[in-house]
């Protein structure tokens, strides 16, 4: 009698699981919304830092916690702007494929403008 | 007394929270760069993205703790002790002003990276552009935190908090 040797075929973990096959790919709109919102937050800080410098009343208004000065108000508004823009952009882009290169370029531009806006020699031009 | 309360807070802010964030960057960056479909099995990819998600979330939380302790606990002490020279010394007019502002970029950028990694998981392996964008943002988070940390360390040397 021939001894048929059953060769064990290893199950490759290269094969995608049923759950993965069922999950649809997430469009890049969600990522784009997150990126651009971060840019908006950074830009907000730059803009506020420049604008509050010549206006003493705004500078005082932004002192949400006076021992720390206006940075508390600027950072709070920055976080609000970041989260609010994220919420809005997510609602618009969550099921869409967007031009990620353009969105990310805009994000980087916003971050750069934000950095310029907080750079003290630039800010002092408006003092 | 070995530490005053102010210097202890400053140490926790900079040497603990700040250092953890900066050091964890290298691990996170290696994880992001390793997300290549040809380098890992499916099982390995799932494990790697899970590790990345945990690591980047931990970094984001530490970044928030760093800026909040710095802005609301240490900065008031600094402003009180050096009130007389706040508008005149370079360390304040440039160093501390830039530090307190640029530091806030880091947690926002780090949180963005953590959320996108957590949301996309293994899909990131196929999404080259999203991955490259994450690498850039992650590096910017590191750079802004590094600038804030350097300025903080130098300013503390010149104008220490007690």
3-state SS track over chain A: CCCCCCCCCCCCCCCCCHHHHHCCCCCCHHHHHHHHHHHHHHHHHHHHHHHHCCCHHHHHHCCCEHHHECHHHHHHHHHHHHHHHHHHHHHHHCCCCCCHHHHHHHHHHHHHHHHHHHCHHHHHHHC
Flag whether A64 is in a domain.
Answer: yes
Does residue A87 fall inside a structural domain? yes
Q: What is the ipTM of this complex?
A: 0.91
The domain total for chain A is 1
- Each residue's pLDDT tens digit in chain B (162 positions)? 566 788 888 888 888 898 888 888 998 998 888 887 677 788 888 888 999 999 999 999 999 999 999 999 999 988 888 887 777 777 778 888 899 999 999 999 999 999 999 999 999 998 999 999 999 999 999 999 999 999 988 888 888 887
Question: Is residue A85 assigned to a domain?
Answer: yes
Q: A-B interface: how many C-beta pairs under 8 angstroms?
A: 100
The structure tokens listed for B142 are 């590191």
Contact B97, B133 (CB under 8 A): no
Q: Which residues from B are below 8 Å from A108, CB to CB?
A: 136
B43 to chain A: which residues are within 8 Å by CB?
13
- HSE, CB side, 13 Å, CA atoms: give it for residue B79: 16
Contact criterion met (CB < 8 Å) for B136 and A75 = no
Full-model pTM:
0.87
Q: Is residue A6 part of a domain?
A: no
Nearest-Cα distance to chain B for A15, in Å, is 8
Residue whose token pair is 């919304």: A33
**Closest-approach residue (CA) in chain B for A124:** B93
Least Cα separation, residue A41 to chain B (angstroms): 8
Helix (H) or strand (E) holding B47: helix B42-69
Asked if residue A59 belongs to a domain, the reply is yes
Residue A110's domain comprises 36-126
Cα separation, A51 vs B127, whole angstroms:
39
- Does A30 touch chain B if contact means CB atoms closer than 8 Å? yes
Structure tokens at B88: 């005149």
For residue A31, being part of any structural domain is answered with no
Residue A120 lies in a domain: yes
Residue A74 resides in a domain = yes
């Amino acid at each position: 009698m021939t001894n048929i040797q059953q060769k064990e075929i290893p199950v490759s973990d290269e094969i995608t699981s049923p759950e993965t096959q069922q999950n649809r790919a997430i469009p890049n709109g969600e990522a784009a919304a997150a990126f651009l919102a971060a840019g908006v937050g950074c830009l907000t800080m730059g803009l506020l830092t420049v604008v509050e410098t010549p206006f003493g009343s705004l500078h005082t208004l932004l002192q949400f916690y006076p021992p720390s000065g206006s940075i508390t108000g600027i950072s709070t508004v920055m976080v609000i702007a970041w989260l609010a823009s994220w919420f809005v952009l997510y609602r618009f882009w969550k099921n869409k494929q967007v031009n990620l290169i353009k969105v990310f370029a805009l994000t980087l531009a916003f971050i750069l403008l934000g950095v310029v806006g907080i750079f003290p020699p630039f800010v002092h031009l408006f003092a | 007394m070995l530490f005053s309360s102010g210097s202890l807070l400053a140490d926790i802010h900079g040497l603990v929270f700040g250092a953890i964030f900066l050091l964890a960057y290298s691990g996170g960056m290696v994880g992001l760069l390793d997300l290549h479909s040809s380098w890992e099995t499916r099982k390995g990819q799932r494990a790697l993205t899970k590790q990345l998600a945990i690591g980047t979330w931990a970094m984001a939380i530490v970044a928030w703790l760093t800026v909040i302790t710095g802005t609301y606990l240490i900065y008031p002490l600094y402003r009180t002790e050096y009130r007389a020279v706040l508008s005149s010394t370079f360390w304040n007019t440039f160093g501390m002003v830039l530090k307190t502002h640029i530091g806030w970029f880091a947690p926002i950028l780090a949180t963005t990276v953590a959320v996108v990694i957590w949301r996309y998981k293994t899909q990131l392996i196929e999404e080259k552009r999203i991955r490259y964008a994450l690498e850039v943002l992650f590096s910017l988070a590191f750079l802004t935190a590094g600038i804030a940390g350097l300025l903080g360390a130098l300013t503390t040397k010149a104008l220490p908090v007690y």
